């Protein structure tokens, strides 16, 4: 029914919840038992009434009936409660694992998959699976058990009646299974027509300016009509197919019921069964059709749900291209940085060619070069957002591929050019959801960077909402937030990709001071866009098309009028590197 | 518009299907269900009367016959609920689409495409679902009345007693309706917080990663998930409680019948047949309060859904979405209307054009210029200067807040419907092509003229690409076809513009994705067109600037200088700066991946 690896996946998440699984099973059994008991009580009532039993006795039976009905209700509610809890607990665990997986995957994965798609895969697919299994357990398992129970009880009354209805049930089941394909093909065509229509609309909505200015409004509507009509007919055809199948099975059932009644009447006439039993047969046969239809319906929709499972499994199995090392550690304090013959290519596009350099602990390297020269790539390699295609990166003498992935963020602080902010408070954005970081510590960090005044000037301090809908931060201010994120972790190496956009003078000064304080006692690799930042560097490395064009002490380069650096200084760094 | 009015308009749009569906509901729920109960009663009474024989056997025959009609009625009547709902959806979706097209420029897309799509897919469906519910309720109402009369005649006491749980159930459904809505809303909100957080997390994946914050982030997700679980469980348990209560009304009702019928049965005043009839009718009646409640909540939902649909076409009158236009479900829809008549462009004037987008700094302020027939005008300026915005406002893709546009001296009131072929044609900076053949993308419904098509392909320097595509112009492009490169898309869009043979050609940064040679060729062919076409282009390319009869220099939304390139180079520092940037080697502008 379900491939083995999918069953294993589901079992993994169900196992920790086994007490709930057991409880759910018990409730399901008990609920079905009570439903089956109901006609039995009415039967007893009829027979005893006709036998002239005392009135009080009948009243007691009636009260028992009501009691059972109420108990059934309680059981159904309990079943829902347990099933829902079970579903959410297991799938939440799955969602967390998927989120962890997605966060661990590298940039190339994120470049290929949009945010919307990933939301759909972390949440949407899982919810679809949950829905399906909630229904599957209750409907399929429940219906099958119920059917079985009804047939067994009918056998108990009379083997001929039981046999007759079993035959009809099996025939109906065969018809439904066989007709499933007949309906399925049309249902698939209908779904495709619906999806095609939505796809059409989606594309046109994206290209509204193109359509408008091309004078193609009428044409777009004309084509829409074709699609709408197509879907109309396909859906009606699918509904018709389903309804024909239902009618065929329905006819079968009506005939079965008629035969059962006839048989019952004959048996009654011969005195083999009571009137109450005929009522029982009448009720039970009426109860057969519903679960049968549900059963086949759910079996047919099975394929749809497996799509979600397959996608979830794929995502869990997606390998990060960057993987954990054996667990080597980095020395404490400022870290030396060493690139040794490092080359790197995005897919097939080469970006770096044999780049080598070394920065001593506590020194600052200024990384210069035009857009596209590979500066940002170097900063990403230092953080293992990618691994080099050739060569190695060593921090404090340790090859970073030897370390565990979560060890790097502890020792390396990276400030990207565009700082990603969350919709949340400033506190959330600095501590990144870590609730163990106290407000006092956060205020301290801001003060350490000389940002206490900036913080005080915010309307709600640490509670100021940022991101969409909140206070907009300029690129410079966003970098201030990123600097506090870094300082909070006290790393031995700071990689700073300076914002290239123009800063207002005030933010510029704040940023400069904060960077100075952050780099104090730490090694720094700074992708510089401003003269002030460049002047802070002990060494300068100029990249040109992925190659080291110049790498020397800043003062030496500045003194040499022939150097690229000196030329850059003369032309005005800010103009040239913008 | 009131929800009931929405339904009635839809009913008036497809009266035949609605009538058929309502007849179906009355047939199944009333015309067949009432005799079914009566026959069952006759069957049991015949048996208990010990006179089984003929009556019982004919009752069985009748039961079988009635039920056969019931199961065959749906397909025999063509399952009218399906075309009823589908045709209603067709109308709503068609009108919504047309409304978006009509209004684009006045209001644009107010929601992201994903959200807009949900208003195409989910909202019409929730409206038309109610059409079927309405038919159902009519049928069930007939039954409720009929059944009550039959039952009353058999035993008024028991019938009256049965109304207690039924009324209680409808009262409960009604009373708890708002609570259900509140729980449902809370559960949706909790889900929204989870998906929103996942979105933030994935969107800022890099920030989480470099801060080593995966663990606290996942912990937060887990916590939000727990909150959602609680909200969702509360929601469904509450709903299930109500549902099972409704369902149990039949059992409790049966209990009441047994209780009150006990003496009657032992005394012979209430027969087993009566008992069977009550149970059969109760089965149907149980759902009646729930159905009424469902219709009421459906009507509320219609209000929401219809409101959501209207919100994305704010300029349209309320009834526009329900306008009974032909929907061509059979036969082919008529060809699109012919383009407006050609009108020779002598002079285009733009006066004090202003667009201040709320919450968006990218507006234009008080821009005035004029184009003469056959002239070549280049709009230039740095990124964010307002060049594209100016084109969009001129073409009616963005609303203008002030200013005037004059075509040959006549004011253009609605630019969106005026700046269309054959008056003007446009290539956006980031053109969109559709998942069709390349030919269809170029023509977009224009009657095909092979010579014009060839000429357009030539003008756009698209022949080398066509030669490389196996299917030529008939190559299917898009997700299920060939993926074109950025430059190919841009030149296909240019060909789409050229084939429209318009008086005014407007293009936005045509060369942004082209290699140097192709670009040079494209400009060369464009300039070779002579003086019959008027061109308005956004560009910063020297080749275009040099050739321009007039250069319009934009800076922060204003037109700061106007004149020939040489004049501007002499007078404007901004122009000098731009010109110098342009002399740099081209790799400066390539993006880092």
Distance from CA of A568 to the nearest CA of B (A): 15
Which chain B residue has the Cα nearest residue A203? B434
Q: What pLDDT, on a 0 to 100 scale, did the predictor assign at position B86?
A: 96
Nearest CA in chain A to B274: A46
pLDDT 10s digits, B224-274: 999 999 999 998 898 888 877 777 777 888 888 888 888 888 788 889 899
Asked if the Cβ–Cβ distance from A46 to B245 is below 8 Å, we say no
User: Is some CB atom of chain A closer than 8 A to the CB atom of B573?
Assistant: no
Share of chain B above pLDDT 90, in %: 49
Same fold, A1-157+298-321 and A337-421+473-577: no
Give CATH for domain A337-421+473-577. Answer: 3.40.50.300
The interface residues of chain A toward chain B in range 327-356, judged by CB-CB distance below 8 A, are 346, 349, 351
pLDDT in tens, B427-484: 998 899 998 999 999 999 988 899 999 999 999 999 988 988 888 899 988 766 677 8
Q: Is the pLDDT of residue A578 over 50?
A: no
- Residue at token pair 């309320």: B318
Instruction: Please give the mean pLDDT across all residues of chain B.
Output: 87
pLDDT at A226 over 90: yes
| Dist. CA A389–CA B183, nearest whole Å | 54
Question: Does residue B25 contact residue B295 with C-beta atoms inside 8 Å?
Answer: no
Determine the residue of chain A that is closest to B427 in CA distance: A210
Cβ contacts of A383 within 8 Å, gap of 6 or more: A408, A409, A412, A414, A495, B210
For residue B122, the chain A residue with the least C-alpha distance is: A198
| Integer angstrom CA distances of residue A42 from A151, A158, A272, A470, B552 | 18, 18, 19, 65, 91
The confidence band for A554, taking pLDDT boundaries of 50, 70 and 90, is: confident
Q: Which residue of A has its CA nearest to B339?
A: A215
Q: Does residue A206 or residue A226 have the better pLDDT? A: A226
- The model's pLDDT over A349-366, given as tens digits with 9 standing for 90+, comes to 778 889 999 999 999 999
Burial group, residue A197, by CB count within 10 angstroms (0-12, 13-18, 19+): buried
> Of B51-60, B307-316, B421-430, where does mean pLDDT reach its minimum?
B51-60
Mean pLDDT of the B112-134 span: 86
Residues 253-312 on A with a CB inside 8 Å of B are: 253-255, 257-258, 261-262, 265, 268-269, 275, 278-279, 282
Yes or no, beta carbons of B262 and A435 under 8 Å apart: no
pLDDT of B116 strictly over 60: yes
Closest CA to A320 of A404, A398, A253: A404
pLDDT for B593 equals: 33
Q: For B494-530, what is each residue's pLDDT tens digit? A: 999 999 989 999 999 877 667 777 888 888 998 888 7
Q: Is there a cis peptide before residue B450, judged by omega within 30 degrees of 0?
A: no
Q: Nearest residue on chain B to A105, judged by CA atoms?
A: B205
Instruction: Band the pLDDT of B70: cuts 50, 70, 90.
Output: very high
Residue A111 confidence (pLDDT) above 80: no
pLDDT of residue B213: 83
Mean pLDDT of B534-554: 91
Contacts of A44 in chain B (CB under 8 A): none
B418 touches chain A (CB under 8 A): no
Q: Using a CB–CB cutoff of 8 Å, tell me whether A221 touches chain B.
A: yes
Mean pLDDT of A529-544: 82
Q: How far is CA A125 from CA A13, A119, A130, B189, in A?
A: 15, 9, 9, 19
pTM: 0.77
Give the Cα separation of B572 and B565 in Å (integer). Answer: 10
Give mean pLDDT, residues A76-89: 89
Interface pTM, i.e. ipTM: 0.88
* Res. A148: pLDDT tops 90: yes
A236 vs B: CB within 8 A? yes
**Candidates 2.40.30.20, 3.10.129.10, 1.10.760.10, 1.20.1560.10; CATH matching A1-157+298-321:** 1.20.1560.10
**Which residues does chain B have within 8 Å of residue A437's beta carbon, measured at their own beta carbons?**
none
Question: Which range has the top average pLDDT, A471-480, B161-170, B199-208, B407-416?
Answer: B407-416
Higher per-residue confidence, B366 vs A350? B366
Cβ-based contacts of B43 with chain A (< 8 Å): 261
pLDDT at residue B584 greater than cutoff 60: no
The alpha-carbon gap from A553 to the nearest alpha carbon of chain B, in Å, equals: 26
DSSP output for B255-315 = HHHHHHHHHHHHHTSS-HHHHHHHHHHHHHHTHHHHHHHHHHHHHHHHHHHHHHHHHTSTT
B455 Ramachandran zone, left/alpha/beta (phi>0; psi -120 to 50)? alpha
Nearest CA in chain A to B587: A372
Lowest-confidence region among A24-33, A253-262, B216-225, B572-581: B572-581
Q: Check CB contact under 8 Å for B431 and A419.
A: no
pLDDT in tens, B372-392: 999 999 999 877 788 988 999
Categorise residue B325: left if φ over 0, alpha if ψ from -120 to 50, beta otherwise.
Answer: beta
Q: How far is A72 from chain B (nearest CA, A)?
A: 8
Which of residues 258 through 277 in chain B touch A, CB cutoff 8 A? 258-259, 262-263, 265-266, 272, 275-276
Closest Cα in chain B, distance from residue A314 (Å): 18
Q: What is the pLDDT of residue A534?
A: 81
Mean pLDDT of B578-585: 66
| Residue of chain A minimizing CA distance to B200 | A422
**Where are the domains positioned within chain B?**
1-154+301-327, 156-269, 340-422+541-585
**Residue B590: what pLDDT?**
33
Residue A504: Cβ-neighbour burial (10 angstroms; 0-12, 13-18, 19+): exposed
Contact A215 B339 (CB under 8 A): yes
Q: Please return the burial class of A205, using the count of CB atoms within 10 Å of its CB with bins 0-12, 13-18 and 19+.
A: buried
**Percent of chain A's residues with pLDDT above 90:** 25
DSSP letter (8 states) at residue A552:
E
pLDDT-derived band at A472 (thresholds 50, 70, 90) equals low
Alpha helices in B434-511 (DSSP H): 438-443, 450-459, 463-468, 486-498
Give how far A69 is from chain B: nearest CA, Å. Answer: 6
- Asked if B530 is an interface residue toward chain A (Cβ–Cβ < 8 A), one would say no
Mean pLDDT of B134-139: 95
Q: How confident is the model at residue B589 (pLDDT cuts 50, 70, 90)?
A: very low
SS3 content of chain B, % helix, strand, coil (to 5): 65, 10, 25
Flag whether residue B74 sits within 8 Å of chain A, measured between CB atoms: yes
Q: Output the average pLDDT for chain A.
A: 84
Cβ-defined contact of A214 to B226 (cutoff 8 Å): no
- What is the chain A residue with the closest CA to B221? A96
pLDDT at position B6 over 70: yes
Q: Do B207 and A104 touch (CB under 8 A)?
A: no
Among the partner residues A218, A406, A416, nearest to B336 by beta-carbon distance: A218
Task: Output B63 or A490, whichever has higher pLDDT.
Answer: B63
The answer to whether A143 and A105 are in contact (CB under 8 A) is no
Looking at residue A371, what is its pLDDT?
A: 65
Task: Write the residue in A265, A372, A376 that is nearest to B56 by C-beta.
Answer: A265
Residue B341 with chain A: CB contacts under 8 Å:
none
Report the range of poorest mean pLDDT among A216-220, A428-432, B124-128, B562-566. Answer: A428-432
Q: pLDDT value at position A233?
A: 96
Q: Does B23 touch chain A (CB under 8 A)?
A: no
Cα(B251)–Cα(B272) distance, integer angstroms:
17
Residues on chain B touching A345 (C-beta within 8 angstroms): none
**Token output for A236:** 């009606």
3-state secondary structure A142-173: HHHHHHHHHHHHHHHHCHHHHHHHHHHHHHHH
Q: Does B415 touch chain A (CB under 8 A)?
A: no
Residue from B453, B136, A461, B199 nearest B191 by CA: B199
Task: Sort out which chain A residues have CB atoms less than 8 A from B419's CB and list them.
Answer: 213
Roughly what angle, to the nearest 10 degrees, separates helices A302-317 and A275-300? 40
Please check the confidence at residue A214 and state whether its pLDDT lies above 50. yes
pLDDT tens-digit series, residues B8-55: 999 999 999 999 999 999 999 999 999 999 999 999 998 887 655 788
Q: How many CB atoms lie within 10 A of CB A180?
A: 17
State whether B229 and A420 contact (CB < 8 Å): no
Neighboring chain B residues of A494 at a CB cutoff of 8 Å = none
For domain B340-422+541-585, give the fold: Rossmann fold (3.40.50)
Least confident piece of the model among B170-179, B296-305, B496-505? B170-179
How far is Cα A180 from Cα B60, in angstroms, rounded to an integer? 31
Whole-number percent of chain A with pLDDT over 70: 91
User: Domain locations in chain A?
Assistant: 1-157+298-321, 159-272, 337-421+473-577
A-proximal residues of B, 339-368, CB under 8 Å: 339-340
Hey, are the CB atoms on B90 and A232 less than 8 Å from each other? yes
Residues of B in contact with A207 (CB under 8 A): 432-434
Sheet containing strand B347-355, edge to edge, reads B364-372, B347-355, B402-407, B410-411
Q: Which residues of A touch B333 (CB under 8 A)?
A: 222, 225-226, 229
């Amino acid at each position: 029914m379900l491939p083995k690896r999918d069953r294993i996946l589901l079992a993994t998440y169900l196992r920790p919840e086994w007490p709930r699984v057991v409880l759910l099973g018990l409730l399901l059994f008990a609920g079905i038992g009570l439903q089956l008991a109901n006609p039995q009580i009415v039967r007893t009532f009829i027979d005893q009434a006709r036998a002239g039993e005392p009135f009080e006795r009948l009243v007691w039976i009636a009260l028992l009936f009501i009691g059972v009905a109420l108990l059934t209700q309680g059981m159904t509610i309990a079943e829902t409660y347990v099933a829902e809890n079970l579903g959410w607990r297991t799938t939440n665990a799955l969602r967390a694992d998927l989120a962890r997986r997605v966060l661990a995957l590298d940039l190339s994965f994120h470049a290929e998959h949009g945010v919307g798609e990933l939301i759909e895969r972390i949440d949407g697919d899982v919810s679809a699976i949950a829905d399906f299994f909630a229904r599957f357990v209750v409907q399929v398992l429940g219906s099958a058990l119920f059917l079985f129970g009804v047939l067994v009880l009918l056998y108990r009354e009379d083997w001929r009646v039981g046999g007759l209805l079993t035959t009809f049930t099996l025939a109906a089941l065969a018809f439904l299974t066989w007709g499933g394909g007949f309906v399925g093909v049309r249902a698939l065509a209908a779904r495709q027509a619906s999806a095609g229509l939505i796809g059409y609309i989606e594309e046109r909505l994206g290209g509204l300016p193109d359509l408008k200015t091309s004078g193609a409004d009428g044409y777009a509507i004309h084509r829409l009509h074709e699609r709408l009509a197509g879907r109309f007919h396909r859906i009606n055809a699918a509904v018709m197919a389903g309804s024909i199948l239902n009618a065929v099975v329905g006819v079968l059932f009506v005939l079965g019921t008629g035969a059962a009644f006839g048989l019952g009447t004959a048996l009654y006439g011969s005195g083999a069964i009571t009137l109450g039993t005929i009522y029982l047969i009448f009720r039970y046969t009426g109860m057969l059709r519903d679960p049968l239809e549900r059963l086949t319906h759910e079996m047919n929709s099975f394929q749809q749900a497996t799509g979600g499972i397959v996608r979830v499994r794929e995502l869990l199995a997606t390998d990060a291209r960057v993987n954990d090392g054996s667990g080597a550690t980095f020395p404490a304090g400022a870290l030396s940085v060493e690139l040794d013959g490092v080359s790197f290519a995005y897919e097939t596009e080469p970006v770096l060619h044999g780049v080598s350099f070394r920065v001593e602990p506590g020194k600052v390297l200024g990384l210069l070069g035009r857009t596209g020269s590979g500066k940002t790539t170097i900063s990403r390699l230092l953080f293992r957002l990618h691994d080099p295609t050739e060569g190695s990166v060593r921090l404090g003498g340790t090859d970073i591929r030897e370390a565990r992935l979560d060890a790097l963020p502890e020792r390396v602080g990276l400030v990207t050019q565009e700082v990603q902010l969350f919709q949340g408070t400033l506190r959330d954005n600095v501590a990144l959801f870590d609730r163990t970081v106290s407000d006092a510590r956060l205020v301290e960090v801001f003060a350490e960077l000389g940002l206490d005044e900036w913080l005080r000037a915010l309307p709600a301090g640490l509670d100021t909402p940022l991101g969409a809908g909140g206070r907009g931060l300029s690129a410079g201010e966003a970098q201030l937030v990123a600097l506090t994120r870094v300082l909070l972790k006290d790393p031995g190496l700071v990689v700073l990709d300076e914002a290239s956009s123009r800063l207002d003078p005030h933010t510029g000064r704040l940023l400069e001071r904060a960077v100075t304080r952050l780099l104090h006692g730490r090694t720094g690799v700074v992708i510089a866009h401003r003269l002030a930042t460049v002047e802070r560097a002990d060494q300068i490395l100029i990249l040109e098309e992925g190659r080291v064009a110049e790498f020397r002490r800043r003062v030496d380069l500045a003194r040499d009028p022939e150097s690229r650096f000196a030329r850059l200084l003369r032309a005005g760094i800010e103009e040239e590197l913008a | 518009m009131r929800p009931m009015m929405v339904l009635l308009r839809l009913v008036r749009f497809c009266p035949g299907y609605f009538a058929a569906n309502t007849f179906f509901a009355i047939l199944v729920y009333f015309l067949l269900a009432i005799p079914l109960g009566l026959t069952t009663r006759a069957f049991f009474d015949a048996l208990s009367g010990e006179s089984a024989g003929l009556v019982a056997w004919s009752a069985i025959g009748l039961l079988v016959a009635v039920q056969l009609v019931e199961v065959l009625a749906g397909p025999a009547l063509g399952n009218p609920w399906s075309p009823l709902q589908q045709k209603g959806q067709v109308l709503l979706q068609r009108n919504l689409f047309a409304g978006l097209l009509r209004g684009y420029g006045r209001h644009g897309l107010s929601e992201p495409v994903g959200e807009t799509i949900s208003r195409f897919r989910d909202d019409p469906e929730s409206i038309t679902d109610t059409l079927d519910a309405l038919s159902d309720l009519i049928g069930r109402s007939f039954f409720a009345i009929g059944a009550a009369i039959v039952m009353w005649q058999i035993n008024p006491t028991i019938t009256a007693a049965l109304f207690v749980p039924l009324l209680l159930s409808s009262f409960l459904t009604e009373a708890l309706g708002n609570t259900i809505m509140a729980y449902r809303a809370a559960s949706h909100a909790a889900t929204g917080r989870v998906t929103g957080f996942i979105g933030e997390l994935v969107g800022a994946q890099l920030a989480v990663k470099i801060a080593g914050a995966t663990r606290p982030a996942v912990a937060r997700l887990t916590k939000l998930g727990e909150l959602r679980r609680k909200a969702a469980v509360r929601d469904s348990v509450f709903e299930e409680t109500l549902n099972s209560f409704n369902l149990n009304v039949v059992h409790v009702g049966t209990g009441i019948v047994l209780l009150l019928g006990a003496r009657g049965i032992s005394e012979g005043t209430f027969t087993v047949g009566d008992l069977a009839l009550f149970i059969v009718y109760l089965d149907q009646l149980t759902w009646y309060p729930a159905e009424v409640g469902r219709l009421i909540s459906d009507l509320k939902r219609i209000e929401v859904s219809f409101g959501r649909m209207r919100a994305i076409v704010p300029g349209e009158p309320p009834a526009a979405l329900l306008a009974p236009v032909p929907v061509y479900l059979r036969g082919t829809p008529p060809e699109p209307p012919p383009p407006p008549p050609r009108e020779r462009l002598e002079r285009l004037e733009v006066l004090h054009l202003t667009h201040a987008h709320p919450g968006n700094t990218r507006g234009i302020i008080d821009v005035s210029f004029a184009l003469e027939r056959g002239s070549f005008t280049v709009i230039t300026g740095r990124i964010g200067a307002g060049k594209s915005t100016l084109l969009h406002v001129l073409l009616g893709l963005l609303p203008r807040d002030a200013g005037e546009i004059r075509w040959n001296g006549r004011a253009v009131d609605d630019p969106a419907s005026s700046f269309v072929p054959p008056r003007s044609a446009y290539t956006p900076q980031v053109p969109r092509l559709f998942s069709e053949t390349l030919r269809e993308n170029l023509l977009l419904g224009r009657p095909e003229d092979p010579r014009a098509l060839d000429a357009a392909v030539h003008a756009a320097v698209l022949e080398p690409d066509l030669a490389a595509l196996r299917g030529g112009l008939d190559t299917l492009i898009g997700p299920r076809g060939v993926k074109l490169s950025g430059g190919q898309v841009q030149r296909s869009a240019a060909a789409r513009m050229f084939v429209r043979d318009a008086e005014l050609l407007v293009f936005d940064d045509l060369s942004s994705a082209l290699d140097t040679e192709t670009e040079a060729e494209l400009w060369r062919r464009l300039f070779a067109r002579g003086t019959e076409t008027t061109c308005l282009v956004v560009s910063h390319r020297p080749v275009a600037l040099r050739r321009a009869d007039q250069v319009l220099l934009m800076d922060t939304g204003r037109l700061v200088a106007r004149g020939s390139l040489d004049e501007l180079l002499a007078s404007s520092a901004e122009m000098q700066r731009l010109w110098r940037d342009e002399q740099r080697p081209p790799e400066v502008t390539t993006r880092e991946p």
